Amino acid sequence: MIGLTDIEKRFGDNLVLKGVTVAIAEGSVTALVGPSGGGKSTLLRCINLLEIPTSGTVRIGDETLAFRPGIKVPAADIRRLRLQTGMVFQNFQLFPHRTAIENVMEGLVAVLKWSPEKARERALALLEKVGMAHKADAWPATLSGGQQQRVAIARALAPSPKVLLCDEPTSALDPELAQEVVDVLGKLASEGTTMVIATHDLRLASKIAQEAVFLDAGVIVEQGPSAVLFGNPERERTKRFIATLK
Ligand code: ADP
Ligand code: MG
């Protein structure tokens, strides 16, 4: 369903991803863990092409794009692939001058050219799904962090992406507010939403991810069932890192 093959990403002299290969099955949840600076955010950004891989192949559903140094992939191809993904950021990144529902409608109206009526209807259904319909007309600044993140999740889901990418979705939240976000992500997981979640939160990861990837210094050290990776990892390096999260 989603395939990354031999992805390299270089920033100047810094080779940040060193040939990363991952396959993500439809309907699965994959936790992406590893030390800070290991390349988790960059990898997520290479899936939705906010960063263009230096080399390697990104496949989402039926769409495949191959990247090579010095060869420019057409912007239209990048846009088409990006539309298959939804992204949730650590700091929510809602548009401050739009209400909750307008945030969710924005991409549908501005990018996909839906009518405002149809977009509002879908946005309201998504706010309902994340338990935020009662705050549809609220401004982001009046919402708690957990509420803002739930609106951000609804916004990311609006164009029906094939995969929801979450970059440390609970890291900016107090435990109680993190829990409401974990609950929403857990519900989406049980409904079969394909997700990749970069997180330091072992509780979140072990609750909703079946698969896990341990990325350290741009290299996948270990990947497999999350129960094994978190419970009884094979590699010494993985063991030491998981121990720091417990
Ligand atoms: P993680 O999310 O695992 O903490 P990141 O993907 O944010 O790791 O960062 C991996 C490495 O890439 C770090 O060394 C970081 O400094 C570098 N990096 C990330 N984004 C950029 C960028 N836009 N320009 C230059 N270096 C970057
Ligand atoms: Mg990061």
Ligand nearest to the CA of 37: 1
pLDDT of 246 over the 90 cut: no
Residue 104, burial from CB neighbour count under 10 angstroms (0-12, 13-18, 19+): buried
More confident residue, 245 or 18: 18
Residues with CB under 5 A from ligand 2 (ion): 40-41
Q: How far is the CA of 160 from the centre of ligand 2 (A)?
A: 24
Ligand 1 shell residues, CB under 6 Å:
11, 14, 16, 34, 36-42
pLDDT of 77 over the 90 cut: yes
| Average pLDDT of the segment spanning 207-213 | 96
Ligand 1, atom 13, residue with closest C-alpha: 37
Rounded to the nearest integer, the mean pLDDT of the chain is 96
pLDDT of 203 over the 90 cut: no
- Nearest 5°: the CA angle 81, 155, 223 is 55
pLDDT at 1: 87
Place of tokens 């307008």: 102
- Ligand 1 binding pocket mutation candidate from 20, 41, 89, 197 (most atoms within 8 A of CB): 41
Ligand nearest to the CA of 168: 2
pLDDT digits (tens, 9 = 90+) for 95-148: 999 999 999 999 999 999 999 999 999 999 999 999 999 999 999 999 999 999
pLDDT of 219 over the 90 cut: yes
Q: How far is the CA of 199 from the centre of ligand 2 (A)?
A: 8
pLDDT digits (tens, 9 = 90+) for 118-129: 999 999 999 999
| Average pLDDT of the segment spanning 62-89 | 95
Question: What is the side-by-side strand order in the sheet with 55-60?
Answer: 14-24, 2-11, 55-60, 63-67
pLDDT digits (tens, 9 = 90+) for 168-191: 999 999 999 999 999 999 999 999
Ligand 1, atom 15, residue with closest C-alpha: 37
* Claim: this prediction has a pTM higher than 0.80: yes
Note whether ipTM > 0.90 here. Answer: yes
Q: How far is the CA of 71 from the centre of ligand 2 (A)?
A: 27
Q: Which atom of ligand 1 is nearest to the CA of 43?
A: 6
